Amino acid sequence: MTQRVYAVTGVASGIGAELARILKEQGHRVIGFDIHRTQANLDHFIALDLNDPASIAAAAAQLDGPLDGLCNNAGLPPRAGLEETILQVNFLGTRAFTRALLDRLRPGGSVVNMASRAGQQWRENAAQVKRLAALNAGDDLRAFIAQENIDATRCYNLTKEAIILWTIAETEALLGRDLRMNTLSPGGVSTGIFGDFQRAFGAAVDRNVQRAGRAGKPEEIAQIAAFVLSPESNWLKGSDIAIDGGMGAFNLADALDLHDIR
């Protein structure tokens, strides 16, 4: 088996930690990035604060060789008081970090961006996504939040919509570099921040989990991330993959009143 080199952000916990474990079990080298230090299932750890442009530049500069893939898993939940940081970490910082690493990716390399079921309204909100994407590090995110009149939950949803649309926008350009980019959209995953989603989205979260039978497990998301990083998924390009235990399907069946066609 060919040993590959993968970079994973948000590697200290949850899906990122499980992805590092799976990739190591598959025999690969794993370079982990996080604001919290860890050595679990890593060949090398590099500190990264996606809220700090200087940290992004420093982390990218510490890479000492080429990569076969990058999983952008780091992110913040919809938590009141973190509005500016959510926009920066979940989208603007992630985009900047990815741009800094693109030249390190070998031909055939894969970028996996962690989106969410919460980003599925991207079609309706594309104009707002474009306004966010026009900002750069150092721009006044506080003014943007005030102008858009958005709270922490909307900031979170917006960043996940932005991740999906940015991935779509990058796909054709990356083909010319023999690189590809996809998003994963988990729903209802039992991690340490699951309570934040219950508070932000209310009874809908518990209702969806009940209908699905249980919440997802971090390792179930990580297994799919590992596959999308691998060359075995090489024809997946610019796709958003729902990993939600059927939640999206039965919500759509309700909305479209599809039950009679069974």
- Which residues are the active-site residues? 156
Helix (H, G, I), strand (E, B), or coil: what is residue 212?
Answer: helix
Which helix H or strand E contains 195, and what residues bound it?
helix 194-201
Which helix H or strand E contains 47, and what residues bound it?
strand 44-47
Please give the torsion angle defined by the CA atoms of residues 198, 200, 203 and 208, in that order, rounded to the nearest 10 degrees: -60
Can you spell out the DSSP letters for 103-133? GGEEEEEEEEEE--GGGTTTTTTHHHHHHHH
d(CA 146, CA 187) in angstroms, rounded, equals 28
Q: Write the CB contacts of 151 (distance below 8 Å, at least 6 apart in sequence).
A: 80, 83
d(CA 221, CA 186) in angstroms, rounded, equals 7
Structure tokens at 158: 């917006």
Q: Write the CB contacts of 95 (distance below 8 Å, at least 6 apart in sequence).
A: 133, 166
